[in-house]
Amino acid sequence: MKRFQIGYQLYSAREDAQKDLCKTLKRLAEIGYDGVEFAGLYGNSVGKVKTALAEAGLKAFSAHVPYAEFTANMDGTISTYKALGCSYIVVPYLDEATRPGSAGFAKVCQNIWIFAEKCSAAGIQLLYHNHDFEFVKLSGEYGLDFLYDLLPERLLKTEIDTCWVKYAGEDPAAFLKKYANRAPIIHLKDYVGVKGGASPYALIGLDEDKKHDNVAFTFKPFGFGCQDAKAILCAASDTIADILVIEQDESVERPALDSAEMSYSTLKKLGIC
């Protein structure tokens, strides 16, 4: 398998990042991570974040920016993350009123197109990060495929989240092969459980279901859940991706950064970092 740059989605350790971003970044570097994907700046200025990254020796690969945030200030969003050195901005999540199949989805597609054009002009690539709710049929195809068919590849590329692909009932490895030439970054995420019970979402400061009693779904470090890690990484090796990002929305069994180290150990064991 080919070797990748390994990133970490900072939302996975949001409490640590909020308390001490510099310390969190240094721990990630000690584990072996090459860079990070942002989900906000945790109250820090761009200058302070750049300094913290430099001190830790980490790269700013990409940033998840909520739909409402970038539509409110497209130029400001691009300016912020370009200043940090991000090569990618990612549409991370859509609420129920804007998802495929909703009345608001047409407007979403229009706004993503406009934002993608602005990103491209600034030398940044826009990506779309999926969940399971894009796996509803629109005109006979999944909403996710509909979006990628609608927007040109030069404007919108994929950030396939392998957890949600599997949770939706599809094969992550097969889906990576489908979008092999459109996948510069791949999200690696693992879990146990099945659909049902409380909502599995806890994303970008938005918790759809804060009740965690009798949850049928639990996030796990990558390689410690139900995912076929080797098959996913073999498929990733056949894509254009050169960055893999570890994400674990919640770590209920141990500190988040301990889970980050376990996920990294899987990648190291399989020889891709």
Alpha helices in 122-196 (DSSP H): 143-150, 162-167, 172-178
Q: How high is the pLDDT of residue 1?
A: 80
At 102-149, the pLDDT tens digits run 999 999 999 999 999 999 999 999 999 999 999 999 889 999 999 999
Cβ atoms of 16 and 263 within 8 Å: the answer is: no
Pairing mode of beta strands 190-193, 217-220: antiparallel
- Kindly report the pTM of this predicted structure: 0.93
Name which residue leads in pLDDT, 193 or 198.
193
- pLDDT-derived band at 213 (thresholds 50, 70, 90) equals very low
Could you tell me which CATH number the domain at 5-269 has?
3.20.20.150
Rg (CA), the chain: 17
Do 203 and 161 form a contact (C-beta atoms < 8 A)? no
pLDDT band at 273 (very low <50, low <70, confident <90, very high): confident
* 210 pLDDT above the threshold of 60: no
Report the share of the chain in percent with pLDDT over 70: 92
- Supply the DSSP symbol for 203: B
pLDDT band at 194 (very low <50, low <70, confident <90, very high): confident
Domains of the chain: which residue ranges? 5-269
Percent of the chain as helix, strand, coil, to the nearest 5: 40, 20, 40
Instruction: Judge whether residue 59 has pLDDT over 50.
Output: yes
Q: CA torsion 222→224→225→231, rounded to 10°?
A: 60
pLDDT at position 193 is 84
Overall average pLDDT of the 57-76 stretch: 97
- CA dist 28 and 8 (Å) reads 8
What angle, 0 to 180 degrees and rounded to 10, lies between the N-to-C axes of helices 46-56 and 21-31? 30
The answer to whether the CB of 220 falls within 8 A of the CB of 166 is: no
- Strand runs (DSSP E) across 65-138, as ranges? 88-91, 125-129, 137-138
**Tokens, residue 189:** 């995420």
CA distance 175 to 190: 16
The sign of the torsion formed by the CA atoms of 198, 202, 203, 208 equals: positive
**Residue 8, number of CB atoms within 10 A of its CB:** 29
Give the N- to C-terminal CA distance of the chain in Å, as an integer.
Answer: 10
Model confidence pLDDT, tens digit, residues 151-169? 999 999 999 999 999 999 9
Considering only CA atoms, which of 130, 56, 45 is closest in space to residue 91? 130
What burial letters (b/e) apply to 50-74, b meaning 16+ CB within 10 Å? eebbeebebbbbbbbbbbeebbeeb
pLDDT for the residue 199: 65
